[in-house]
Amino acid sequence: MPPGPPDAQRDDRLEARIKSLIRAVPDFPIPGIRFRDVMGLVEDADGFREATAALADRFRDAEPEVVVGIEARGFIFGVPVAQELDVGFVAVRKAGKLPGEVRGVDYDLEYGSARLEMQAVAPIRAGTRVLVIDDLLATGGSAAAAIELVRGMGGEVVGAGFVVDLPELPGAERMRELGVEVFALCGFLGDEE
C-alpha cells in the first residue's frame, strides 16, 4: 500500500474507491510517463460527488473565500468544491487563453515548461483566503505557479487540494516549502496500477 495523502488522515474506503476509478495510461504524453487519468472518476457520478465533497470538507475550516482551479482538470474539480464551500471560483489558465489584462508565471512541468495566467480582475485582493485545487500533484510546478499568482495579487493561500498525489515526485514537499498545507485524496507509486 503506498503512502497516504500528505499532511492528513485519509479515509481508506474513499481512497480505494477513488483509486479504482482512475486509469493508468503508460507512455502518455511522452514515453516513460505513466499518466493518471481522473476522467473515470469524473464519469462516475457518486465517486465524483464523494471526491469533491471530501476535498471541500478537508478545507472547510480554513474558511477559503475563493477557489482557484488550475487548467484543465482543476476546473472540473474546483467548481464543485467552490459550490460546496459557497464561494467563487477563479480559473488559472495556460498562456493566451484569457481575455483582458492578465498576470502570468512561467513554470516547469514534469516533462517540459509552460506559463499560467490569471485575469487581473479576479476577485483576489490583499488578504483574500484562497484554496488551490487541481487533479494531480506531481512536481508541483503548476501548483507553485498558481500559488505565486495568488500571492502576487495579495491573496493568502489557505491550502492546496488534489485528487491524486504521486509521492515519488517532489510536489508535496515543494508545497510544504512554500508554506502551503497540501492534501490529496489518494496516492499512487510509480508502477502501481
Q: What is the CATH number of the domain that holds 49?
A: 3.40.50.2020
pLDDT of res. 110: 59
| SS3 label, residue 30 | coil
Q: Which domain holds residue 180?
A: 12-187
Q: Please identify every residue annotated as catalytic.
A: 73, 110
User: How far apart (Å, rounded) are the C-alpha atoms in residues 75 and 134?
Assistant: 7
- Average pLDDT estimate for 47-66: 98
Cell numbers that stand for 61 in this block:
475550516
Residue 21 lies in a domain: yes
The pLDDT tens digits for 147-193 are 999 999 999 999 999 999 999 999 999 999 999 999 999 999 877 76
| Residue pair 4/179 in contact by the 8 Å Cβ criterion | no
pLDDT of res. 4: 45
User: Residue 70's CB: how many other CB atoms inside 10 A?
Assistant: 26
The pLDDT tens digits for 7-19 are 445 589 999 999 9
Look at the chain and report how many structural domains it folds into: 1
The pLDDT tens digits for 109-151 are 656 789 999 999 999 999 999 999 999 999 899 999 999 999 9
Q: Is the dihedral of CA 67, 118, 109, 107 positive or negative?
A: negative
Q: Is the dihedral of CA 63, 67, 68, 70 positive or negative?
A: positive
User: How far apart (Å, rounded) are the C-alpha atoms in residues 142 and 94?
Assistant: 10
pTM of the model: 0.92
Residue 167 lies in a domain: yes
